[in-house]
Amino acid sequence: MQEMILCKLGEVVLKGLNRRSFEDKLISNLRRRVSKCGNFRVYSKQSTIYVEPVNDDCDLKAAFQACRQVFGVIAVSRALPCEKDVQAIISAAKKYLDAELSAAKSFKVESKRADKNFPLTSIQLSQQVGGALHQAYPYLAVDVHEPELTVFLEIRDDAAFVHGPAVPGAGGLPLGMGGSAVTLLSGGIDSPVSSWMMAKRGVALEPVHFFSPPYTSQAAKDKVIELAQRLTPWCGRMRLQIVPFTEIQEEIRRACPEDFFTLIMRRFMMRIAEQCAEEAHAKSIVTGECLGQVASQTMEALRCTEDVVSLPVLRPLIGMDKEEIVRISRKIGTFDTSILPYEDCCTVFTPRHPKTKPHLDEVREAESALDVGALCERAMANREFVRIKL
Ligand code: ATP
Ligand code: MG
Best of 191, 205, 293 for a ligand 1 pocket test (most atoms within 8 Å of beta carbon): 191
Which ligand neighbours the alpha carbon of 337 most closely? 1
Q: Output the pLDDT for position 45.
A: 83
**How many beta carbons lie within 10 A of that of residue 193, not counting itself?**
27
Residue nearest to atom 25 of ligand 1 (CA): 186
- 171 C-alpha to ligand 1 centroid (Å): 26
Q: Can you give the pLDDT at residue 80?
A: 95
pLDDT value at residue 390: 85
The answer to whether residues 213 and 189 touch, using CB atoms and an 8 Å cutoff, is no
Quote the pLDDT of residue 10: 82
Q: Whose C-alpha lies nearest to ligand 1, atom 29? A: 209
Residue minimizing CA distance to atom 1 of ligand 1: 188
pLDDT at residue 11, as a whole number: 77
Domains of the chain: 4-168 (3.30.2130.30), 180-388 (3.40.50.620)
Q: Is the peptide bond before 214 cis (omega within 30 degrees of 0)?
A: yes
Given the CA of residue 345, which atom of ligand 1 is nearest to it? 27
pLDDT of residue 13: 66
Kindly state the DSSP code that residue 139 receives in the 8-state scheme: T
As a whole number of angstroms, the longest Cα–Cα distance in the chain is 85
Residue 181 pairs in a beta bridge with 205
Q: Coil, strand, or helix at residue 208?
A: strand
Q: Would you say the CB of residue 70 lies under 6 angstroms from ligand 1? A: no
**Residue 220 Cα to ligand 1 middle (Å):** 13
Atom of ligand 1 nearest to the CA of 191: 3
Using CA of residue 183, residue 317, residue 226, residue 270, what is the dihedral sign? positive
- What average pLDDT values come out for the chain (390 residues) when binned by 10 residues? 89 74 94 95 88 93 97 95 95 95 95 91 96 94 94 91 92 95 96 98 98 93 97 96 97 94 96 98 97 89 96 98 97 96 79 88 96 98 96
Q: Are 296 and 190 in contact (CB under 8 A)?
A: no
Which ligand is closest in space to the CA of residue 215?
1
User: Which residue's CA is the nearest one to ligand 1's atom 21?
Assistant: 184
pLDDT at residue number 350: 83
pLDDT at 239: 97
